[in-house]
A = this chain, B = another copy of it.
Amino acid sequence: MRNFNFYNPTRIIFGKGTISRLGAEASKAGKKALLIYGGGSIKKNGVYQAVTASLAAAGISVVEHSGVKPNPVLRHTREAVEKARANRCEMVIAAGGGSVIDEAKAAAAGAKYGGDVWDFFTGKAEVRDALPLFTVLTIPATGSEMNSGCVITNEETKQKFSAMGTSLFPKASILDPETTMTLPKEQVANGAVDALAHLSEGYFSTTDRDAAVTDELVHALARSIIASTNRILKDPGDYNARASKMWSATLALNGLQSLGYDGVEFANHAIEHALSALYDIAHGAGLAIVIPAWLRYHLKKAGPERLEKFGLAVFGAATAEGTIRSFENWFRKIGAPAKLSDAGIPAGDIPKIAGNVMELMELWGIDCDRAAVEGILRDAA
């Protein structure tokens, strides 16, 4: 078990009817907020009304910035930075899923920085300060509501890059499972795949294989994601399943899932980021395509041990191959795509995709050569 640091100061307010507490939390940070949200689904499900009512009751005035895309883009993020600066906003409030929260994080850091916000994503600048951030989560998936990372896509250069910094931890995140009751089936599935990917990345790529407590936590959260998603697909009105899934997905990327591991690669995410950057497909859908092929690559490179341990604990699978089949079968069951062709991505594009992946692998310091990446992509074609 390797040495580690753990620090996560985000305050979580979880449960039914908790959005009404946003104003009281946010008022600790000031009286003027930049409110960021997406395409307007929060106006249909009442979240927008609950958020603005709570802020108004706390005397917080709001500048709105809507229209965040599922893979949030740089141009829209730069606009958010400009709005926050021009209106002297004292905080940023995100109401939505991981994309909205990620753009809000970038805007919060950009507003406190003299240069271009993209500098944080290329490694040109470090995030040292940010406006206080508060989130109201509506899609369980990315874990962004309780971590210090964010991902933005530069739509001109076709780069989906990430940035991190302690000041990006939300001050408080409100998780009301009732806001997720009307999510479309694809988003239920994609969120589950994303959370499973977060749990898998470190588990399978660690070179230290005796961090037993973290293995147990990963198994526990993976079982919880799978069981709760199955319950939701059977009965979309199952509040307790929605609640378990929401908290599981948050814990799947709040840091706990890789403590004591070494050499965590995030290779799935690197490959998926290229797919999203080039084809704008949903993050979870891209991951469902990549994971089984990546696991077959892992089996060849690293042997069956980790796949056997995970499969037995999570799926009751008896072999490494059985574990990979269990992933594939479950992705199929919940309606996630299985192959590049399912997402309309031609195999002829593989060299181009691999080129995009390698740029990210280099930036993240992942040890994976171009031939291996192309091999994983051909396996997924």
Contact = CB atoms under 8 A, between A and B. Distances in A.
Nearest to A176: B3
A128 B313 CA distance: 44
A196 interface: no
Contact of A213 (B1, B16, B211, B224): B224
Contacts of A245: 213
B213 A248 contact: yes
Contact of A4 (B8, B9, B15): B15
A251 B257 CA distance: 13
A380 interface: no
A259 B251 CA distance: 12
Contacts of A259: 14, 247
- Report, as a range, how many residues of chain A touch the other chain: 35 or more
A221 interface: yes
Interface in A1-43: 1-18
Nearest to A11: B7
Interface in A179-226: 210-214, 216-217, 219-221, 223-224
B212 A1 contact: no
Nearest to A7: B11
A15 B4 CA distance: 7
Nearest to A228: B212
A114 to B, nearest CB: 26
A145 to B, nearest CB: 12
B244 A211 contact: yes
Interface string A142-168: 000000000000000000000000000
A68 to B, nearest CB: 26
Given A212-B240, A213-B228, A240-B210, A9 B12 contact: no
Contact of A5 (B11, B214, B251): B11
A373 interface: no
B228 A220 contact: no
Given A223-B216, A228-B213, A260-B243, A12 B6 contact: yes
24 contacts: A1-B15, A1-B239, A1-B240, A3-B14, A4-B14, A4-B15, A7-B11, A8-B9, A14-B259, A211-B240, A212-B240, A212-B244, A213-B224, A213-B228, A213-B247, A213-B248, A213-B251, A216-B224, A217-B217, A217-B220, A217-B221, A217-B251, A220-B220, A247-B259
